[in-house]
Every structure is written in structure tokens, then in C-alpha cells.
Amino acid sequence: MTSGSDPTRGAGRRGVAGVRAEPELLAQVGLFADLSSEELTGLAALMRPRPYAKDEVVYLKGDPGTAFYVIVSGRVKITLTSPDGKELILRRFGPGGFHGELALLDDEPRSADAIVTEAGVQLVLQRDAFRRFLHEHPVVATTLLATVSRYLRSNADLIQDATFLDVPARLARVLLDLAGDQDANGLPKAGAVLPEKMKQGELAALVGATRESINKWLGSFERQGLIAYDKGQITLLRPAGLKQRIY
């Protein structure tokens, strides 16, 4: 992996593959949804675009928190890695997502790794500017607190799943979550296709299991008619059956 130690390397407000920190772009980020056009313009002036290559490190656990990131294009995973190299994916972000805020709020080192999984551009906001902006815009600070709360709940769910659920139950939950849109019963529709092709290694990192175990249970789910699996493309044939496998 390559390192992203200088978050503003080669980046002015213009000129990263034609990308600019535009107010219209920031308005699509949920965190900034309640800001006025004037406030969005002021925020855009503080941010710098930065290109990232696939597999590039944005930051590692233990690094000082120096910046906040908004994803314009590409994808990022937030992970924990064990001493023997096993990876657990905590969160995955695509365009419009943001990350890096926790260390800026508590002055502690980064609590996880951020790795680029699909090349793209991120907007970088340095720590001092980030804090001044939150101080001047308490509505954003309130929204951010709600986001942090969701992260904490998600992490608690991961710990609970790892403690009480077996691998097939955890896999079933991950597949349902990845499918996205859900009905009134909290289920994706039958025939829902996961939006991204998933390598078994990535699923293993999301579930907290070995690749071999994921391969075994994907095959089992397919034989039971719960999913269809073809070259990384997963279709949920019986979401209700998957949900039953969790409990």
C-alpha cells in the first residue's frame, strides 16, 4: 500500500482532474444538508481536493488526526487489522461519504485505518479549519454528533454479533445490510442485487471470518436457494430466509 501522509500534496482548489470544492457538491453531503449557500461557499473555500490511488493509505491507526475527508469519487474502507494481518472492515464509504472526524473531535490518535478501495478524489479539511467551522455552525456539530452516535452503535453491534452469532448468521446480516433499500419489515426485496461485486476476502473482512468459511457458507446459502452467487455478484433470492438464519 502507498502512504497518504501529505493530505494536500499537489492540490489547489482547482486542478485535481478538474475537481473543485464546489458548494453544489458539498450540498449533497448529508452532514452539510442544512447549510445555506453562503455557508457552503465558505466551507468549500477551506477544502482542498486530493487524488488517491487504489490501495493507498489515507491514515493508519495511531496516526495523529490532522484532517477531515469528504469523498468526491472512489471508495474508502475503515478497518482494524490484527497483529497477524487479519482485517475487520468497520465501515465502507463511497461518494458523498465522509470520514476522519473522530480523532479531530477528541485529540486522540486515529482509531482505525482508512484505505482506498477504488481510486478517486477526496476533499481535505485541515483540523483547525474543521474545528472553527463546527464552532461557527452548531447545526453541523449536532448532525455530526448524531453520526458519531450511529458509528458507536454500529461498533457495538459488531461486537455483539462477534460474541453471540455464528459465522452464517453474521454473513446473513452483512448480506442484508449490503443490499441497501428495505421494506416496512426491514428487508430488501426478493431479487435485490448487491450494488457491488464482492470478493470473498472482502466479505470475510466484513463478517470477521476466514475466506474459507465465507466460501463454505456462500455455497450453503446458494444450495438452500437463499442467494445466487456468480463471479462475485450476489443476488438475494429469499431475504426473509436470510433473516431467519440470523436468529
Q: What is the pLDDT of residues 20-33, one digit of tens each?
A: 778 888 888 888 87
CATH 1.10.10.10: which residues of the chain?
166-246
More confident residue, 123 or 8: 123
Look up the CATH architecture of domain 23-162: Sandwich (2.60)
More confident residue, 6 or 30: 30
CATH 2.60.120.10: which residues of the chain?
23-162
Residue 153, pLDDT score: 79
The 3-state DSSP class for residue 213 equals helix
The number of residues making up the chain comes to: 247
Write the pLDDT tens digit of every residue in 198-222. 888 889 998 988 999 999 999 999 9
pTM: 0.73
- Write down the CATH number for the domain with range 166-246: 1.10.10.10
Residue 18, pLDDT score: 59
- For 71, the grid coordinates are 469523498
Residue 177, pLDDT score: 87
Residue 141, pLDDT score: 84
Residue 136, pLDDT score: 87
Q: How far apart are the first and last CA of the chain?
A: 38
Radius of gyration for the chain, computed over Cα atoms and rounded to the nearest angstrom: 19
The total of other beta-carbon atoms located within 10 Å of residue 85's CB is 6
Mean pLDDT of 226-238: 91
Write the pLDDT tens digit of every residue in 89-125. 988 999 989 999 887 788 889 999 999 999 999 999 9
Residues in Cβ contact with 117 at an 8 Å cutoff, skipping those fewer than 6 apart: 54, 55, 74, 75, 76, 77, 92
Average pLDDT, the chain: 85
